[in-house]
Amino acid sequence: MISQIAFVLVLAAAIYFIQKRFGRIRKNINLGKNRDFKDQVDKRLNNVLLVAFGQKKMFKRLIPAVLHLMIYVGFLVINLEVLEFMIDGFAGTHRIFAPFLGGFYTILMNVFEFLAIAVLVSCVFFLLRRNITKVPRFFNAEMKGWPRLDGNLILFTEIILMIAILTMNATDQLLQPISDHYPTTGELFFSSLLMPLFAGLNESTLIVIERFAWWFHIVGILGFTIYITYSKHLHIILAFPNTYFAKVEPKGHVNNMPVVTNEVKSMLGLVSAESSAPPTEPGRFGAKDINDLTWNNLLAAYTCTECGRCTSECPANITGKKLSPRKIMMDTRDRLEDVGNSLEKGGPGLNDGKSLLGDYITKEEINACTNCNACVEACPVLINPLEIITELRRYVAMEESGSPASWNSMYQNIETNFAPWKFSPSDRFNWAEEKK
């Protein structure tokens, strides 16, 4: 009974902290502007199935993709065993499914153990890649300090949790012949390899080790779930809604500003019945802070895996410019967190004298972007840093008139000559005449 009460208290505490954190994240995301996502539902569902669930875009880099798949499948399947943990915790039983499933239970447990080994090996490999071989994209300027530590902490935690499962199963098998409380599971291949480590221990010591491993795993899983809400590993959950709400138009498509579009149509005499109503206050052109972005941009910031594939493909970053698409997403998330924490404490929130543009992301960074969409193509969960960069540049150009002088000259030429070059449209094909 004491064990059951302790389990309920631990579970209740975990649920409280998880729902509180997700409530804060939801409020932060809702700081963004509204946007309708009722179009092309079939494409959106296809993205969820192939990209989020099927890991389609991960396989552009085969070795990390296979290892990531092992961790991903292990995470999904091993949690079926956690379901048994939960039932045992509530009911005070032990391996409640074993007597009912018989030999099939043995097969299932061996599959779980195989995946536990696969997760353990994959995590060790990823630790080596991060800290020994030092893959360059994990060592950009924005990856110093907490971001680098965060990745290592998660990998170490997953390794320890897998060891806890194998330890629990090994001591459990040793207890089955000597205690009626431990139902027969059949031989579990991988954990049986650890049994010689505990073979000389008495029953009470084995029970202590088995129970410690059981509690360590269940508390570890719940703690892990709380932790990921503060970590880049939040993508484990948010990848699914993000791929649904991601942009489905062709990558070269740029979202027009409705107020500008209506003004141009009015000047050209193309005003429709829908746009004939009196114009509303246009508000801010582009984005200066997070509340000027759409909520799906903010969702994407929380979904960012910090894998750095976008930055490793960015031509501006490759040529030494300060732009890093990963940093754009991380800075947006940092601004969201700062504003959210301020609001939670009754502070000024968005009115703290700071803004996303200037205090977090510099003009030098956004001006380096070539709009090539390489970052968008590279992202394994359909994040679009270019949308945020474009909105920030719109603000600089339209609100501050702060674009570089060469850009302003180009804008003027496009407006007057319909081309970036300073010559009359009537002379555009003179070069062809010279070739005759």
Residue 212: which residues within 8 A CB-CB, separation 6 or more? Answer: none
Residue 232: which residues within 8 A CB-CB, separation 6 or more? Answer: 147, 150, 151, 304, 305, 306
CA pair distance 85, 184, nearest whole angstrom:
16
For residue range 54-113, list pLDDT tens digits in order. 999 999 889 889 999 999 998 888 877 888 888 999 998 999 999 988 899 999 999 999
CA pair distance 279, 171, nearest whole angstrom:
73
pLDDT on residue 278: 54
pLDDT on residue 422: 81
Compute the mean pLDDT over every residue in the chain, rounded to the nearest whole number.
90
Beta carbons of 284 and 383 less than 8 angstroms apart: no
pLDDT band at 435 (very low <50, low <70, confident <90, very high): low
pLDDT on residue 310: 96
Of 57, 371, 39, nearest to 235 by C-alpha is 57
Q: SS3 of 361, please?
A: strand
Which CATH number is associated with domain 31-55+246-267+284-402?
A: 1.10.1060
CA pair distance 129, 67, nearest whole angstrom:
12
- Answer yes or no: pTM beyond 0.85: yes
Token pair of 390, please?
A: 């474009």
Radius of gyration from C-alpha coordinates of the chain: 28
For residue range 226-253, list pLDDT tens digits in order. 999 999 999 999 999 999 999 999 888 8
Burial-class residue 387 by CB neighbours within 10 Å (0-12, 13-18, 19+): buried
CA pair distance 137, 267, nearest whole angstrom:
48
Q: Could you tell me the maximum CA-CA distance found in the chain, to the nearest angstrom? A: 99
Q: SS3 of 144, please?
A: coil
The yes-or-no verdict on residue 333 having pLDDT over 70 is yes
Q: Which helix (H) or strand (E) holds 17?
A: helix 2-29
For residue range 137-157, list pLDDT tens digits in order. 999 999 999 999 999 999 999
The yes-or-no verdict on residue 176 having pLDDT over 70 is yes
CA pair distance 71, 186, nearest whole angstrom:
26
The yes-or-no verdict on residue 51 having pLDDT over 60 is yes
User: Residue 420 corresponds to which amino acid?
Assistant: P
For residue range 247-275, list pLDDT tens digits in order. 999 888 888 887 778 777 777 777 665 55
What's 102's DSSP letter?
Answer: T
Helix spans in 48-102 (H): 62-91, 98-101
Beta carbons of 6 and 88 less than 8 angstroms apart: no
Beta carbons of 365 and 357 less than 8 angstroms apart: no
Q: CB count, 10 Å around CB of 180?
A: 6
Beta carbons of 111 and 188 less than 8 angstroms apart: no
Among residues of the chain, what percentage have pLDDT more than 90? 70
CA pair distance 324, 310, nearest whole angstrom:
8
Among residues of the chain, what percentage have pLDDT more than 70? 97
pLDDT band at 426 (very low <50, low <70, confident <90, very high): confident
For residue range 118-133, list pLDDT tens digits in order. 999 999 999 999 999 9
Of 411, 408, 431, nearest to 420 by C-alpha is 411
Cα angle, residue 387 at apex, residues 20 and 232 outer, rounded to 5°? 35
Beta carbons of 387 and 247 less than 8 angstroms apart: yes
The yes-or-no verdict on residue 50 having pLDDT over 70 is yes
pLDDT on residue 391: 94
CA pair distance 292, 285, nearest whole angstrom:
9
Burial-class residue 378 by CB neighbours within 10 Å (0-12, 13-18, 19+): buried
Helices and strands in the chain: count of H runs, count of E runs: 20, 0
Of 436, 326, 337, nearest to 385 by C-alpha is 326
pLDDT band at 37 (very low <50, low <70, confident <90, very high): confident
Token pair of 369, please?
A: 């972007």
The yes-or-no verdict on residue 220 having pLDDT over 80 is yes
pLDDT band at 419 (very low <50, low <70, confident <90, very high): confident
Which residue is associated with the tokens 């940093």? 327
